[in-house]
């Protein structure tokens, strides 16, 4: 009789262990599913933020750090012809955009052909020269300094467009830099001092500019991610 009870007890204990193990596996699976779901949402969010670099922006990202396309081709182990096609293809894989943005600086910025500063899509629109960045330098668009801008920004520093104003002849882009300094740029000043980097901060698209003091306060709060 006691052997039966002992056997029954063993089965009960074993059953309880199986149940506990099963519950643990279920919870682990549930956690794994939640993690996958969270990663999926994060991935979708990241995709929404990315804006493909135009051919001009891609080449400029290399030039501002001292790289020619031929030198970059040698660096990446591809032919110059392939590099030229890659730079000119707006549908290139995203990893190439990431790679060109992350290049180390090897020298001073190289001279930029003026035509590179013009957005290829907007260049076809019947807009005056004062609106050549219309639709490209939008609220939340990121730019980089192509040369030192006084004490405001060193070459290569990033900035974010926080306000657009315009009159009959041109748009003016107000930019906050990594230093916290703020300045307005006409298209001609953009040509001289700034380059687009092909990224937009989606969370800033609806940014409401009131005045520079408000931008400084938001900068101090860490609202701008460069």
pLDDT band, residue 8 (cuts 50/70/90): very low
Looking at every residue in the chain, the average pLDDT score rounds to 77
- pTM equals 0.51
Q: Beta partners for 163?
A: 174
pLDDT at residue 9, rounded to an integer:
46
pLDDT at residue 179, rounded to an integer:
95
* Cα-Cα end-to-end distance for the chain: 77
Query: 44 pLDDT exceeds 50?
Result: no
Spatial neighbors of 109 by CB under 8 A, at least 6 apart, are 63, 64, 65, 66, 146, 147, 155
The angle, 0 to 180 degrees and rounded to 10, between the axes of the packed helices 69-76 and 80-87 is 110
Hey, which of 4-8, 119-123, 153-157, 221-225 has the most confident mean pLDDT? 221-225
pLDDT band, residue 155 (cuts 50/70/90): confident
H/E stretch holding 217: helix 212-220
**Do residues 158 and 177 touch, judged by C-beta distance below 8 A?**
yes
**CA separation, residue 112 to residues 108, 116, 121, 129, 203 (Å):** 12, 7, 19, 18, 31
Is the pLDDT higher at 8 or at 217? 217
Query: 102 pLDDT exceeds 70?
Result: yes
pLDDT at residue 34, rounded to an integer:
52
**Hunting for tokens 């020298």 — which residue is that?**
107
The angle, 0 to 180 degrees and rounded to 10, between the axes of the packed helices 94-101 and 55-63 is 30
pLDDT at residue 181, rounded to an integer:
97
Q: Please compute the mean of the pLDDT values over residues 111-128 and round it to a whole number.
A: 50
pLDDT at residue 114, rounded to an integer:
52
pLDDT band, residue 101 (cuts 50/70/90): confident
pLDDT at residue 105, rounded to an integer:
87
Mean pLDDT lowest among 27-36, 75-84, 170-179: 27-36
In the chain, beta strands by DSSP E: 141-145, 158-166, 171-177, 182-185, 194-200
Q: Please compute the mean of the pLDDT values over residues 190-211 and round it to a whole number.
A: 88
Q: Please compute the mean of the pLDDT values over residues 11-22 and round it to a whole number.
A: 46
């Amino acid at each position: 009789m006691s052997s039966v009870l002992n056997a029954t007890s063993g089965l009960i204990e074993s059953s309880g262990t199986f149940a506990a193990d099963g519950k643990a596996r279920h919870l682990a699976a549930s956690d794994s599913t939640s993690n996958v779901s969270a990663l999926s949402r994060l991935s979708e969010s990241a995709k929404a933020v990315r804006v493909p670099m135009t051919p001009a922006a891609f080449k400029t990202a290399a030039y501002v750090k001292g790289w020619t396309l031929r030198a970059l081709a040698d660096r990446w182990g591809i032919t110059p012809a392939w590099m030229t096609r890659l730079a000119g293809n707006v549908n290139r894989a995203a990893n190439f955009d990431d790679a060109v943005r992350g290049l180390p600086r090897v020298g001073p910025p190289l001279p930029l052909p003026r035509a590179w500063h013009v957005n290829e899509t907007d260049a076809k629109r019947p807009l005056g020269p004062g609106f050549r960045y219309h639709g490209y330098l939008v609220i939340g668009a990121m730019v980089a300094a192509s040369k030192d801008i006084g004490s405001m920004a060193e070459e290569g520093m990033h900035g974010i467009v926080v306000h657009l104003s315009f009159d009959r002849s041109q748009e003016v882009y107000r930019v906050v830099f990594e230093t916290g300094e703020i300045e307005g740029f006409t298209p001609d000043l953009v040509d001289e001092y700034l380059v687009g980097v092909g990224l937009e901060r989606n969370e800033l698209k609806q940014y409401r500019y009131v005045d520079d003091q408000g931008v400084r306060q938001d900068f101090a709060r860490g609202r701008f991610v460069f």
